[in-house]
Amino acid sequence: MAHAHDSSSVSPIARAFVEARKRGRALPDYPGNEPTSLAAAYAIQDDAVALWPDLIAGWKLGRVPPPWDVRFGAGRLAGPIFEHQVQTTTEAVFPVIDGGFAAVEAEYVLVLGEDAPNRAGWTSATVADLVSDVRIGMEIAGSPFPGINDHGPAVTASDFGNNQGLILGPSVPDWRGRLERLTCRMEIDGAEAGRGGAMSVPGGPLDSLAFLLNLLHARGRVLEAGQLISTGAATGVHRIFAGQDCRADFGPDGSLSARAVAWGADG
């Protein structure tokens, strides 16, 4: 859904983040006054989406931990995933900004089978029929601002929800019957960094989709057939640096490997 913007009213914070991301340059400090509500953060995010030269392929969800969840009135936050940052390979390479933030997360990715009706009141029970497929995935979290996760959810949400891409793996067979039992683990440079599963995501992956649909409805956006929903970190958020390798192992459902490289080194 396109949003018209008068360029003079575009958030300078959004402009600073977009320029830093385009150039692969770190922002040592937050580029302006930190937003104090999620509504203000999503307004900055919307401005940045309008400035970013790519289409939205889907959305990532991240957990808002205590005590932030009570203070900000939400247990999750969302950010866009852009088409050119989705990789469908089991041996991926991704750039990290020197001096910024980068992390990898094992995720279960829902594929929307139809355009979602534009309404509120979604629950994990009512969203299930919208999902046509579940894929294994790895979210590449990243931001030019190294403190992206240290200042609360509004700061995180304001910079694309700390998303830098998605590695999309194969489908999970018979996911409807197996979702609550799916497990995975993450390795960095061969050492286990975390383990978990689909139910490590609070309420489960379908609850993430319900949250997203309600949020997008409130923001005047829609979710369309074919879009991807990266439902949240199943093993934790694992920092990664240029030169490191990572592997998300989903057991019988496959694994995804990736290497972090210095920004600009991947061509």
Angle at alpha carbon of residue 101, lines to 100 and 105, rounded to 5°:
160
- pTM (two decimals): 0.95
Unique residue bearing structure tokens 């409130």: 218
Q: Is residue 109 within 8 Å of 137, Cβ to Cβ?
A: yes
Over range 46-51, report the average pLDDT.
98
Alpha-carbon span 256 to 43, nearest angstrom: 34
pLDDT tens across 113-140, in order? 999 999 999 999 999 999 999 999 999 9
Tokens encoding 13? 């914070």
Rounded Cα distance between 250 and 222, Å, is: 30
Share of the chain above pLDDT 90, in %: 94
3-state secondary structure at position 219: helix
Q: Specify the pLDDT at position 43.
A: 98
Residue bearing the bigger pLDDT, 266 or 172: 172
pLDDT, tens digit, for every residue of 74-83?
999 999 999 9
> Which domains can be identified in the chain, with CATH numbers?
7-262 (3.90.850.10)
Summarize the confidence of residues 168-191 as an average pLDDT.
Answer: 97
Q: Per DSSP, what are the bridge partners of residue 22?
A: none
Q: What is the DSSP letter of 174?
A: T
DSSP conformational letter for 225: T
Paired sense of beta strands 245-249 and 76-82, if any: unpaired
Mean pLDDT across the stretch 45-66?
A: 97
Indicate if the pLDDT at residue 264 is higher than 90: no
- Element holding 56 (H helix, E strand): strand 56-63
